[in-house]
A and B are shown apart, each in its own frame.
Chain A
Amino acid sequence: MGATGLDLLGMYRCMVRIRTFEEHILTEWRAGEVPGEVHLYSGEEAVAAGVIANLRVDDYVVSTHRGHGHVLAKGGDPARMMAEVFGRTGGYCRGKGGTMHMADATLGILGTNGIVGASLPIATGVGLYCQYMATDRVSVCFFGDGASNRGTFHESLDLASIWKLPVIYVCENNYYGMATSVEEHMNINDIAERAASYGIPGVVVDGNDVVAVHDAAAEAIIRARSGGGTTLIECKTWRHHGHFTADPAYYRDPDVHNEHLQRDPIIRCGALLLSQGLATKEALDAVHNEAIAEMNAAVEFSKNSPWPEEDELLVGLYAE
């Protein structure tokens, strides 16, 4: 890791807020307060934080079923996010979307998404908009290792590459598509190799190293803004929890899991901040305490937010 000229503490804060948000959800889910299942982002925070640190408010993000980290990093309000997960009217979508359909149009967040691989064509079209309107805005598409096997991956990268669209496809390879390991679901080592099929740059980074993610994304985003087209970035990372809240992830070798936990992106970033004299232990503690207070408030807000009434049910099918 080298950290010159970076807002490393800002990325650290972003990761801690994401982790704290997710762990609060898990606590509430275990207490029976969360309707339905949630796909937690804990462990993968360096990807959202490192990539999105390079974005402006007018850039776009298209997210996944495991998308809370992307929304928070892009500036999403944790109270409205949490209330959406809780199914309340205070949520981003008044409870109609839930964890997998959470959007903020004012921040260029085109939603988390319930379909694995659905983010890719949508982000491609968003990239077309950025190019068509002669802007220097970019479209960032998050998806997982499992989604990279889908036809949407191939069709989207094909289209973006021939149209030279400003789309950065960011693969979060957490080594499992649900409970199926990458060894079982693909015959290559690096998903980034697939970029060769489209004649675009493909980069592998340590997805638990926020600086490495940041730097790889910075290069791709600068290229995209200046008309240089599409990039595929593969971030190798690790899911701390199962595929979803109720999944104990028995299919993972505990030793391998523990090894990965040693590479926790937040711990690594904290150590870097201390070793480079960029922050004190007290400052890092303050980041954690602020995040806990913020997410406590988000949970409180959500629990106090009214459930939607029946008269809300039929509202808004069509745009008028």
Chain B
Amino acid sequence: MESKMMTFQAAAAEGVAQEMRRDPTVYCAGEEVSAHGQAYGVSGQGVFEEFGEKRVRNTPIIETAIVGHAVGAAAVGLRPVVELMFMDFLGICMDELANQAAKMHYMFAGQYKAPMVLRVSSGAVRPAGAHHSQSLEAWAAHVPGLKIVAPSTAADAKGLMITSIRDDNPVVFIEHRALLSVEGEVPAGDYTVPLGKARVTREGSDVTLVAWSAMVPTCLEAAGELAAEGIDAEVIDLRSLIPLDKEAILSSVAKTGKLVIAHEATRTNGFGAEIAAMVADEGFDLLKSPIRRVTAPDIPVPCSPALLKHFVPNAQKIRAAVITIS
């Protein structure tokens, strides 16, 4: 398949643009998606120029109505791709996401659906403080009816974006800011990646590292360090949390007998707890040692870079967790 090197950010934007060309009901809306400012450029350079203000719609700073209007538009026939500049703003639109979009199909017995993508940028990358740094996937994961996608590579950013836009359900699409400028080979054309299909990013036999989003490259770094110490780690990139590829996790644990889950979100009720519980329920006999979670501590994200570097899990912490069960 033909491919080219591009950034995660450009790949996601290419996915959106391709779907906009294919399907006239797809439109983008959000704060500064079309204009000069555009903090993270997630809608991509050239998209506004190509599609114009009807389909790339600037909004005021109104997260409630950005998400809420998308629910109504999606219910009657459009396919909104709307953005929150920071995932931290989920609280401002949680009713629209959790009570309206997520429940619509079930509570109306299938009469309405909400095919919409909510793009959110996540992560404690630069010193931005407690309101511009969080990874809140667990908030969304507790709401039945949503799908949650968290790519780690440029190719997945495109392939999962296209799949998410075509999905007939509300999808929370998490784009970690540390990944936006990371480059990778991205297949050209109509490239899709299914939701709920994890990828074994690195094969190994001694321990399973499960991650998503920006923790995938961090796990790969840890796996490299562990290899030098004679420990062969397998790294699984979940790609989507809902639906969850349980089979990929369980079959890896069946091979390694050991599980370490790494996420940038805080620890208590983080999605790692759900994975640990699932493996304890369905794969207890496969385990040779306790499950370990490597997470941020249960505190707001601190601003100072001197504190932030201790907040975000790194390869050393993942390595250390593996060593405790090796």
Contact = CB atoms under 8 A, between A and B. Distances in A.
Partners in one complex: yes
Interface of A: 60, 62, 92-94, 96-97, 101, 103-105, 108, 110-111, 113-115, 118, 120-129, 132-133, 139, 151-152, 155-156, 158-159, 162-163, 316-320
A226 to B, nearest CB: 19
Contacts of A120: 68
Nearest to A93: B109
B34 to A, nearest CB: 13
Given A128-B69, A128-B78, A114 B110 contact: no
16 contacts: A96-B107, A96-B109, A101-B103, A103-B108, A110-B112, A111-B108, A113-B100, A115-B95, A118-B100, A126-B72, A126-B75, A156-B65, A156-B68, A156-B69, A316-B109, A318-B169
A121 B71 contact: yes
Interface stretch (B9-17, B56-64, B284-292): B56-64
Nearest to A62: B72
A122 B72 contact: yes
B99 interface: yes
B69 A121 contact: yes
A14 B169 CA distance: 36
Contacts of A94: 109
A158 B60 contact: yes
Interface string B70-100: 1111111110100000000000000110011
Contacts of A92: 108-109, 111
A124 B110 contact: no
A320 B144 CA distance: 15
B172 to A, nearest CB: 14
Contacts of B75: 110, 122, 125-126
A318 B105 CA distance: 6
A132 B109 contact: no
B65 A317 contact: no
Contact of A115 (B65, B99, B104, B107): B99
Contact of B112 (A105, A124, A133): A105
A158 B62 CA distance: 9
A118 B95 contact: yes
Contacts of A152: 64-65, 68
A60 B65 contact: no
B145 A97 contact: no
Nearest to A111: B108
Interface in B161-193: 168-169
Contacts of B65: 121, 124, 152, 155-156, 158-159
B107 A97 contact: yes
B16 to A, nearest CB: 17
Contacts of A93: 107-109, 111
A121 to B, nearest CB: 2
A121 B62 CA distance: 11
Given A62-B72, A128-B78, A97 B54 contact: no
Contacts of A132: 27, 54, 73, 78
B110 A159 contact: no
A132 B67 CA distance: 17
B27 A125 contact: no
Which 5 residue pairs spanning A and B have beta carbons closest together?
A: A121-B68, A125-B72, A125-B69, A125-B73, A155-B65
B78 A129 contact: yes
A247 B294 CA distance: 51
Nearest to A150: B64
B239 interface: no
A128 B73 CA distance: 7
B106 interface: yes
Contacts of B107: 93, 96-97, 101, 111
Contacts of A123: 72
Contacts of A124: 65, 68-69, 72
